[in-house]
Structure 1
Amino acid sequence: MSQVKLYGVREQLLPIRERLSDVVHSCVVDALQFPANKRAHRFFYLDKDDFYWPETASERYVILEFMMMEGRTVETKKRLIHLLYERVCEQLDLAVTDLEICILESPAHNWGFRGMTGDEIQLNYTITI
């Protein structure tokens, strides 16, 4: 299981949301071996006055936050991060200083979906990659 939160300045993020979602999803499918039809993205549009970003970044600054079940190797998570920088920056013409990524993990028993906990459900993809 993985969910993605995408944060950015409203005027910058809104016009690219569909392309950004597609690119992020392609990285998740390739790096985490997710099914192509499994996407859980939430966009958080912030007013400029409510969003402070590093001096090294521009108004196009985007934060990607991944919430995932534990189980993936360090190499798998690094592959995801590297793919995100490669594809997002190239396909959306975003500077690497305008993209920040964080992966947060939680045990499967802390997740609930389809009426079960994550450690009780049979997924159609693997977590331990």
Structure 2
Amino acid sequence: MAQVKIYAHKDFLDTGTTRADISQSIHGAVMATLDYPAEKKVHRFFPMVAEDFVHMADRGGTYTIIEISLFEGRSIQARKQLIRELFTRLAASPASSRTASRSLLLRLPGRTGEFVACRVTN
């Protein structure tokens, strides 16, 4: 099962349907690329106040970090496909018009504790 954590400024997450839009984009990508059923959805939102979410000034108030923890055994190709699908769906999401920059951290457990990180700026 994919465990998802979404970190963003509280004001941004509380705007309209931002939480639902982001959650729908993430789960759609997970279902499409990893063949998960709709009911296997575990998303945790971490709304952050400015003093608890320190980042580079050019990221702004819509800066979002998405961390996905997967069980070991997914191929590199499956992981890359998930990243591509996730960014495609997030770009098409209504939340995208409210998001200036986005960061995705995909946690991939393994013997070496490897990570893949990507950044997209709209």
Q: TM-score, normalised by structure 1?
A: 0.74
1:66–1:94 Cα change, 3 Å: farther
Native 8 Å contact 2:62 2:100 kept in 1: no
Q: How many Å apart are 1:75 and its aligned residue?
A: 1.1
Please name the residue that 1:14 is paired with. Answer: 14
Task: Work out which of the residue numbers 73, 98, 101 in structure 2 matches 1:98.
Answer: 101
Relative to 1, partners in 2 of residues 1:21 and 1:81: Cα closer, same or farther, differing over 3 Å? same
Query: Aligned letter for 1:2?
Result: A
Q: Which amino acid aligns with 1:99?
A: R
SS at match of 1:69: coil
Identity of aligned residues (%): 29
Instruction: Point out where structure 1 has 5 or more consecutive residues left out of the alignment.
Output: 108-129
Q: What RMSD, in angstroms, separates the aligned Cα atoms of the two structures? A: 1.9
1:125 corresponding residue in structure 2: none
What is the CA distance between 1:55 and its match in structure 2? Answer: 4.0
CA shift digits 1:6-58 (9 cap, x unpaired): 00000001231111111110010011111111100000010012112234422
Once the two structures are TM-superposed, the CA of residue 94 in structure 1 deviates from its matched residue by 5.0
Alignment partner of 2:59: what SS?
coil
Query: 1:36 aligns to what SS in structure 2?
Result: coil
Given the alignment, which residue of 64, 67, 71 partners 1:65?
67
C-alpha spacing 1:74/1:94, structure 2 compared with 1 (3 Å)? farther
- The runs of 5 or more residues in structure 2 that have no matched partner are 111-122
Aligned residue-pair number: 107
Q: Tell me, yes or no, if structure 1 residue 39 matches structure 2 residue 41.
A: yes
Structure 1 position 54 matched with structure 2 position 56: yes
Residues 62 and 99 in structure 2, CA contact (< 8 A), matched pair in contact too: no
How does the TM-score come out when normalised to structure 2?
Answer: 0.78
Aligned partner of 2:8: which letter? G
